Amino acid sequence: MAVSGIILAGGRSSRMGRDKTLLLFKNETLIERTVRKLQNFVDEIIIASNHTAKYNLPGIVEVPDSYPGMGPLGGMHAGLMIAKHQYSFIVSCDMPFFTEELARYLLERKAGCDVVVPEIGNRLEPLCAVYSRNCIKPIEKCLQAGVSQVFRFYPDVRVCKIVESDLRQVGDPKEIFCNLNTPEDLYYLGESDKPVS
């Protein structure tokens, strides 16, 4: 598929207390797991990590933020700036249950849209969504104004929201969009020996 894959891996992992991207989950690190899944359906993979050689994974490009300290929006901008294709599937590295089926489902709905984003209830999932290069300028406008919330540039682009009932065709949204933020999250998924008090 002529689409880029961008992994957001530049977070500080403050609630986890250690680098989330290198946590083991089902016998592979979160970054390795995300790369492996993306390789099934994207043409290139970019890791937005604030580094250029942190992971040294074969064939994978790492890119630092042009606007440091601006959270996921800064990483999205960095990835989209070097993406070869008009559309990118962007995912945070701490979402180990996203699926190829979900990504393909969103990508199939990209015609006429700049953003294809899941909506669960009234909550958007902007860190597991499809973005076009048309988002670059609106994102830059936000970053230059010191605005880091991802959804703040949405009014300036064509957004297609995919509602929960439609998403259920490709899985349970509550599982797909689960993300790992704390040691307790790992414990309750059976990936650590004990919860941290």
In three-state secondary structure terms, 191 is coil
Annotation: binding site for Mg(2+): 94
The dihedral through the CA atoms of 62, 76, 132, 164 has a sign that is positive
Known binding-site residues equal 8-10, 20, 65, 94
> Cβ(194)–Cβ(187) under 8 Å?
yes
- Cα–Cα distance between 83 and 2 in angstroms, integer? 11
At residue 186, the pLDDT reads 52
pLDDT for the residue 124: 96
pTM over 0.75: yes
pLDDT score for 47: 96
Q: Which domains does the chain have, with CATH numbers?
A: 4-190 (3.90.550.10)
Strand segments (E) across 42-153: 44-48, 61-63, 87-92, 115-120, 123-124, 128-132
Question: What was the pLDDT predicted at 192?
Answer: 45
pLDDT given at position 37: 96
Segment 8-34 shows an average pLDDT of 76
pLDDT digits (tens, 9 = 90+) for 109-157: 999 999 999 999 889 999 999 999 999 999 999 999 999 999 999 999 9
How many other β-carbons are positioned within 10 Å of the β-carbon of residue 78? 27
pLDDT tens for 51-94 read: 888 898 999 999 999 999 999 999 999 999 999 999 999 999 99
Task: Say which residue, 189 or 147, is predicted with more confidence.
Answer: 147
Average pLDDT score over residue span 1-30: 78
Q: Is the pLDDT higher at 16 or at 71?
A: 71
The CA distance from 90 to 80, in Å, is 9
Pairing of strands 28-29, 24-25: antiparallel
- Determine contact, residues 167/110, Cβ cutoff 8 Å: no
Q: Residue 193: pLDDT above 80?
A: no
Location of structure tokens 């489902």: 105
pLDDT surpassing 80 at residue 182: no
Distance from C-alpha of 85 to C-alpha of 64, rounded to nearest angstrom: 19
**Binding site residue list for GTP:** 8-10, 20, 65, 94
DSSP code at position 133: G
CA nearest neighbour of 140 among 157, 131, 153: 153
